[in-house]
Structure 1
């Protein structure tokens, strides 16, 4: 499948990306891809091993005469975000990604594309397979479960990697290079809430909020897009005069993706339906106006299911849960005063569920300051403690402190100017690159991050600009060759640029 990818340039990169598209690899299901890459390496005499967690390393010795060059680690993650449109059935553990080209961009039909971080992995493999390349000692580190927990990086073996320079290939902006990133943590809230039987006049109604764009919960959180869980709480509060109470709820599927859809089953008296639908029509218009220009595709619907039995949250429990979720921090909390234009602290109400009175929330807090991450988690604990819920923090990871005077950065900037005639924008990203974790385990590493132009990551709108992949490849290949030079003093800074 995806044979058309073999016709794109650079062919070496796209052929590897085709393998990734054809090999299902959602987080936690990377084993088949690991085996495929090990077989590829073994067939080419490239050494490979894994650490105790299962992270994969491929090693290639230096070109003759370049043995004393600093070792380079090409780093990316094997897993991809598994997001599909509601009307597009797709089993990410079995089905390949179905790609197509449109107006110079590569997309996937109804699902995430997996360019994040599949193209970084493909480029690293292409480097290892390029026998014409003159290079120093090379390692490719491919981590697991980055998209769900950063588990591979957090559990990475210490004392395993040998290189001194790390090129993280998980960035998504053409013409930019990243030297720092936010840290973060998952905040999990759980409670068993009281329920009671439906009354004789109550019926089941299905409430749906759909049509939002979604996106990456770090990169896109400042774009003003809607969060389905946050907006659904506004809807439920507006329906409070109807006496509606929650039976079940599901909003969002991943804590690091802006939730695009939310669905609730309500218990409500049949005589309230007409007034509720009028309320929803007005609210839909209001929300579309608020989201105009960024996320105006929102739709609301309410319909009877035909059921009239079972239990729903008690009126008090339903009211308190909706109010707590409505008041919970969501979106940008603070912009950085040290890095202008960059979000300092944010929170994504990523996944909310309610089944048989069992409530669960998984939010992802990000911040350039670890103290702000801890404080946001404490606010969740204080808020949801008022309704008797328990809060815990999981998968916390540190940020990556910028090193603007890095010789590696100077090398990259010099190469960027030489190849593209422009100065790269040096950035700090409000997203969880693995560099912060890796730097904590290997403090001697110099690191930068760069990649091709990817838009809509973590959503079915994900797409990559095809021309930018060739540009990315030429930069990566050129940097590996440049760093193999015996004299690694950084070139002098040059004027000009953009």
Structure 2
């Protein structure tokens, strides 16, 4: 299995990618990979700096005859999203990822692969290591904790970077050049509750939603996939309003930037209503499976008897919670007028979890238009504050305004046409790229994002197309050799 990966072309990229899969690197637990990258730079005799935010910066001098070229910053993030299938035994804090060659793709065994952004990191390592590539002055910027807050990019100080061109290697469609991205904002809503005893004559049930594709809450939000928290809310609301259901616990989703694939609740229902409760939810489940036949054909909804809980969430709070979750905007709010097919504004109802007298709801708002993001914030704030929850909106980050007149963009289009006989697609993405944050600190940078073809990032179905990695790397090499003079 490992030999299959290491024999893929370009071997230098796959060698370094495989090395990254050996190192546990979920967001927030990146010390091992940080040491690995810094040690790699030092082993090459290159200037290597680790800053206070956990970013690693490695500088490589220009090759012979290229010292007059503009300085280029190659940038990628070292962390990965830790997601696994139910039933998969994997500790993301210590276990390596197991990559598998599957036809034209590389995927992982039951977990996220980490091609987002491991392939970008591996490509930069290949450039740093190469003694054959031609390039001007290079800086390799490996940022930390991109997936859960972009704290590395936020912590990057002004005056550190010397280059005038930044190539972000975190895009997911080979043949596309990204020149803009959405900004984002974290929302956290909390309900405090007292527990009450379960009256006599009740039966316990567990409601489980699973089998969904999930995916990236920005890149995949327009695909119409099911949101496990929204689906569970429909089921629970029916149980609450029609069958006098009591809510004992709820646990759905795991990360703000991943569309939730699974959501579960434990409830108590009057025993006299139990049969109608099961039948009613079965009918609703059948409706939802029909609704998602194309977008999420493997949706699974199970309602089965469970141990009767001793205590439940006080009924008034449970009712307000379910109304707020039902009313909470989710999915695409508006498409872009300027770039057809691009989502402008969206929300992901990402996490709903009860524990120790507190129910926490987490969302990630995205928009390329600041005023639209502010409007969405007001909608969500109103929804939950009317229901009696506290609200906190923080972790906001700026978008990246497209510059179609970019000099580097024109040069890269010429190079791509010469190599492949076609024009690259010029895109902006409905996702947070670190370019927006870095560009706010270094506003004079000419920035382009590119990458190989990656599908289903942030989910255990994540995979990277093998041929696209070769095309991406070939294009990167030619781009570096074709950077204009200062």
TM-score range, shorter chain: over 0.9
CA contact (8 A) 2:206 2:303 kept: yes
Task: Tell me the equivalent position of 2:274.
Answer: 273
RMSD over aligned Cα atoms: 1.3
Runs (4+) of structure 1 exceeding 3 A deviation are: none
CA contact (8 A) 1:180 1:400 kept: yes
Deviation at 1:245?
Answer: 1.7
Partner SS for 2:482: helix
Partner SS for 1:117: helix
Task: Tell me the equivalent position of 1:31.
Answer: 31
Deviation at 1:63?
Answer: 1.2
Deviation at 1:378?
Answer: 2.0
CA contact (8 A) 1:331 1:346 kept: yes
After superposition, give the CA deviation of every residue in 1:440-470 in whole Å (9 maximum; x if it has no partner): 0001100000100000011111001100000
Task: Tell me the equivalent position of 2:147.
Answer: 147
Any residues of structure 2 matched to 1:143-222 within 5 Å, and which? 143-222=143-222
Task: Tell me the equivalent position of 1:491.
Answer: none
1 CA distance for matches of 2:274 and 2:114? Answer: 42
CA contact (8 A) 1:324 1:383 kept: yes
Deviation at 1:69?
Answer: 1.2
Task: Tell me the equivalent position of 2:130.
Answer: 130
Task: Tell me the equivalent position of 1:301.
Answer: 302
Task: Tell me the equivalent position of 2:234.
Answer: 234
2 CA distance for matches of 1:315 and 1:83? Answer: 33
Deviation at 1:202?
Answer: 2.4
Any residues of structure 2 matched to 1:345-356 within 5 Å, and which? 345-356=345-356
Task: Tell me the equivalent position of 2:470.
Answer: 470
CA contact (8 A) 1:150 1:434 kept: yes
Partner SS for 2:223: coil
1 CA distance for matches of 2:272 and 2:256? Answer: 37
Partner SS for 1:267: strand
2 CA distance for matches of 1:43 and 1:308? Answer: 58
CA contact (8 A) 1:312 1:357 kept: no
2 CA distance for matches of 1:466 and 1:164? Answer: 31
CA contact (8 A) 1:280 1:301 kept: no
TM-score by length of structure 2 reads 0.98
Partner SS for 1:215: coil
Partner SS for 2:457: coil
Any residues of structure 2 matched to 1:377-416 within 5 Å, and which? 377-416=377-416
2 CA distance for matches of 1:67 and 1:308? Answer: 71
Any residues of structure 2 matched to 1:35-74 within 5 Å, and which? 35-74=35-74
Unpaired segments of 5 or more residues in structure 2? none
Asked if 1:247 corresponds to 2:251, the answer is no
CA contact (8 A) 1:228 1:251 kept: yes
Task: Tell me the equivalent position of 1:290.
Answer: 291
Partner SS for 1:42: helix
Moved more, 39-48 or 420-429: 39-48
CA contact (8 A) 2:210 2:262 kept: yes
After superposition, give the CA deviation of every residue in 1:222-267 in whole Å (9 maximum; x if it has no partner): 1010001111111111212221121111110110000001000112
TM-score by length of structure 1 reads 0.95
Partner SS for 1:216: coil
Deviation at 1:195?
Answer: 2.8
1 CA distance for matches of 2:53 and 2:380? Answer: 31
Task: Tell me the equivalent position of 1:371.
Answer: 371
1 CA distance for matches of 2:19 and 2:394? Answer: 33
Any residues of structure 2 matched to 1:44-123 within 5 Å, and which? 44-123=44-123
CA contact (8 A) 1:280 1:300 kept: no
CA contact (8 A) 1:99 1:113 kept: yes
Count of residue pairs the alignment pairs up: 485
Unpaired segments of 5 or more residues in structure 1? 489-498
Moved more, 312-321 or 403-412: 312-321
CA contact (8 A) 1:247 1:355 kept: no
Moved more, 379-388 or 138-147: 379-388
2 CA distance for matches of 1:254 and 1:44? Answer: 37
Asked if 1:451 corresponds to 2:454, the answer is no
2 CA distance for matches of 1:236 and 1:265? Answer: 10
Deviation at 1:64?
Answer: 2.6
The structure-2 alpha-carbon separation of the partners of 1:275 and 1:111, relative to structure 1 and needing over 3 Å to count, comes to same
Deviation at 1:65?
Answer: 2.7
Deviation at 1:270?
Answer: 2.8
